[in-house]
Amino acid sequence: MARVSTLLGASMLIASAYAAPHANSTEVIGKRCTATIKSASDITSDNLKCTTINIESFTMTAGETMALTNLASGTTVNLLGEVTFGFREWAGPLFEIGASSDSGTFTFNGNGYSLNGQGASYWDGKGTNGGVTKPHPMVKIVKGGGTFKDVTVLNSPAQAVSVGNTAAFTVSGITINNSAGSSKGHNTDCFDVSASDVTITGNTCENQDDCLAINSGSNIVFSDNKCSGGHGISIGSIAAGKTVSNVKVTGNTVSNSANGLRIKTIYGATDASVSDITYESNTVSGISDYGVVIEQDYENGSPTGTPSNGVTLGPVTFSGTNTVEVNSGAEQVYVLCGSKCTGTWNWSGLTTSGGKAGSSNYKSISGYTV
């Protein structure tokens, strides 16, 4: 009798051990199947459990998010035709993708096809500050890690790609083409990052706002990208309570833009910091305002000319060979620090030309004279 009880107890323990992960985990268990999405009605929970998802050409229902979320870890999504998002004034986002857990992974292969946001139907020169309600961001990465690659993001109504991964993530081979919005497009940031362990490499951005805007995060690499028409590569605006650290901006080209390389913190922000920022081997040209700009005076989207002292900033390093060329009337360098800029900033890797020299109120810059 004792032996029967022992065996029964062991069997129950084994059964419990196998059941526990399914009972207590939010991780979706993927199915070895291929789902095909060719209309909004195909975006079902059953189809999203397949570990291969193929998207064919179709028009997404206006006013609805194309949500490929809660994906099983290891899922591959293939874009096999252009997806056009129907026009409607609403908040968005238009497209959302993410794993079912923070540590899950997925791969999105765009295969050179387009996600078309029909931005021209929304653009009115006001962006997200008023006028027509514009769905944004156009693409939102929300959970997990992995890759998002080889797709054209065409005519985003406002912000294009929001990166909010929770595990190591790479964005590559993306073309964000908002060139048609040169007169009325506004707030069309290409990449907004609020995440850590991110690599954004080998992309092309034509827009009317920041090519990159890092709002928070650490261990971020922005490399070998081409930016034109917008406001340049930015860290910030850094708000209260936000931290950005260990960022490497390398091998990028910024052309025909308002600014080249920029760090901006919000006036009055506290308990925030920007640290260990490195610029290496970037080429900047055709700049109308500032080649390099670091300022701690941003308020309501514009500089005030008076810095505040609540955000720690530094060190900022220029290594390798960074060349910055600005237009006549523009300034090569503008640095406006509050009292919490810190460390010696080695700028020996910076060469500037054109326009005016500019100015700096931070005295601990070595290897370069403003």
All residue ranges of the chain with pLDDT < 50 are 1-25
Enter the tokens of residue 271. Answer: 């308990």
pLDDT of residue 1: 40
As a whole number of angstroms, the distance between CA 368 and CA 352 comes to 10
Which ranges of 46-189 does DSSP label H, i.e. alpha helix? none
pLDDT of residue 7: 35
Examine residue 199 and state whether it is found in any structural domain, yes or no.
Answer: yes
pLDDT of residue 27: 79
The CATH number linked to 337 is 2.160.20.10
Domain that holds residue 94: 33-366
As a whole number of angstroms, the distance between CA 200 and CA 189 comes to 14
Examine residue 6 and state whether it is found in any structural domain, yes or no.
Answer: no
Which ranges of 113-250 does DSSP label H, i.e. alpha helix? none
The answer to whether the Cα torsion of 13, 19, 21, 23 is positive or negative is negative
Total residue count of the chain as it appears in this document: 370
**Cα atoms in the 13 Å half-sphere on the side-chain side of 55:** 29
The answer to whether the Cα torsion of 3, 4, 10, 14 is positive or negative is positive
Examine residue 27 and state whether it is found in any structural domain, yes or no.
Answer: no
Examine residue 13 and state whether it is found in any structural domain, yes or no.
Answer: no
Examine residue 21 and state whether it is found in any structural domain, yes or no.
Answer: no
Q: CA–CA distance from 363 to each of 268, 298, 313, 359 (Å)?
A: 22, 21, 14, 11
Which residues are paired to 294 by β-bridges? 263, 335
Examine residue 193 and state whether it is found in any structural domain, yes or no.
Answer: yes
Q: For residue range 175-188, what is the model confidence (pLDDT) as tens digits?
A: 999 999 998 999 99
As a whole number of angstroms, the distance between CA 315 and CA 310 comes to 16
As a whole number of angstroms, the distance between CA 319 and CA 334 comes to 19
Q: What's the structural domain count of the chain? A: 1
Mind telling me the catalytic residues? 231
Q: For residue range 80-123, what is the model confidence (pLDDT) as tens digits?
A: 999 999 999 999 999 999 999 999 999 999 999 999 999 999 99
Chain center to CA of 302: 21
Examine residue 8 and state whether it is found in any structural domain, yes or no.
Answer: no
Which ranges of the chain does DSSP label H, i.e. alpha helix? 2-24
